[in-house]
Amino acid sequence: MSTTTDSKIRIQLENFSVTDEIEAMKKVSRNIGGITTFLGTGRELSKGQNIAQLNFEHYPKMAEKKLEEIRQQAIKDHGIIDMSIIHRIGPIEIGENIVLIVAVGEHRKETFTACEWAIAELKRVTPIWKRETTTNGEVWVQDTP
Amino acid sequence: MITVKFFASLKAIAEKEEEHIEVQSPISMDQLSDIISKTSPKMGDIIRDNKIMISVNQEMADADTVIHDGDEVAFLPPFSGGS
């Protein structure tokens, strides 16, 4: 498993370490006073159906570009110091990590708002798709709350 | 040559992931959907009904976008990233 934390925007097959990603972001500035993270994980139940496995697909280059735009806008509009966004693709088992957003700032308030905005924006504009495998077969998810 | 990409649920509808189309001059989105309809009528209908998003060279596009030789057009069903 790769634990490379060099890039702040990554789409990868491998799992990631939340601790390693937070530690990497703490090195960005000595002025960080607050860190907010959002970790999305594989959920077993979706719309009343039992999920056996998830599978994520992305549009290479465009998806990374959108995530970088989200990062830049979060820094500009919410006044945070920096943000990292990591999204996994390929097969994901129930309970496994899917997506991690780490927002670091001088104070907690801007990191909370930036993190919440970023995950909503990721779902809205990033060309990533989720396929669920249920007992009834496979289905591409068209909308996620 | 225009490169056309299909993602997620659209791959099964188009029955392919990618298509290459030779053009002599710039074409409209309507013209592109007509060309795609010849091999995949259902995919052509989906494009014309504006049921999906379209990108050209990885920037969001619309029905009025003109497509040039060398462009990469992608048909994108509703996104469902995150968790």
**Looking at residue A45, which CATH number applies to its domain?**
3.90.1170.40
pLDDT at A66 over 50: yes
Q: ipTM above 0.95? A: no
Quote the percentage of chain A above a pLDDT of 90: 84
The order of strands in the sheet holding A82-88 is A9-12, A82-88, A97-105, A34-41
A104 within a domain of the structure (yes/no): yes
A31 inside domain: yes
Interval A27-40 mean pLDDT:
98
Is residue A135 one of the residues assigned to a domain? yes
Give the closest of A43, A131, A143 to B83, CB-based. A43
């039992």: which residue's tokens?
Answer: A50
Domain spans of chain B? Answer: 2-76
- Bridge-partner residues for A100, per DSSP? A39, A86
User: For an interface test with A, which of B52, B53, B75, B79 has the most A Cβ atoms less than 10 Å from its Cβ?
Assistant: B79
Distant-in-sequence, close-in-space partners of A103: CB < 8 Å, separation ≥ 6 = A35, A36, A37, A74, A78, A80, A82, A83, A110, A111, A112, A114, A115, A118
Interface contact B76, partner A, CB < 8 A: yes
Q: What's the pLDDT at A38?
A: 98
The reply to whether A4 falls in a domain is: no
Do the chains contact at A143 and B74, CB–CB below 8 Å? no
Residue B9 contacts A where some CB pair is shorter than 8 Å:
yes
- Dump pLDDT digits (tens) for A108-126: 999 999 999 999 999 999 9
Q: How many domains does chain A have?
A: 1
* pLDDT score of A119: 98
A41 CA to chain B: closest CA distance, Å? 6
Q: Does any CB of chain A come closer than 8 Å to the CB of residue B58?
A: yes
Is the CB of residue B79 less than 8 Å from the CB of residue A128?
Answer: yes
A35 within domain boundaries: yes
* A2 within a domain of the structure (yes/no): no
User: What rounded mean pLDDT belongs to chain B?
Assistant: 93
Structure-model confidence comparison of residues A135 and B59, the more confident one: B59
Residue A83, pLDDT score = 98
A101-129 b/e (C-beta count within 10 Å ≥ 16 → b): bbbbbeeeebbbbbbebbbebbbebbbbb
B7-38: pLDDT as tens digits? 999 999 999 999 999 999 999 999 999 999 99
Q: Is the pLDDT of residue A3 over 60?
A: no
Residues from chain B that touch A61, judged by Cβ atoms under 8 A, are 58
Strands (E), chain A: 9-12, 34-41, 45-46, 49-58, 82-88, 90-92, 97-105, 128-134, 137-140
A–B interface: beta-carbon pairs under 8 A = 73
Q: Give the nearest chain A residue to B55 (CA atoms).
A: A62
CATH superfamily of B2-76: Beta-grasp domain (3.10.20.30)
| Domain of A60, in residue numbers | 9-140
Interface contact flag, A87 B81, Cβ < 8 Å: yes
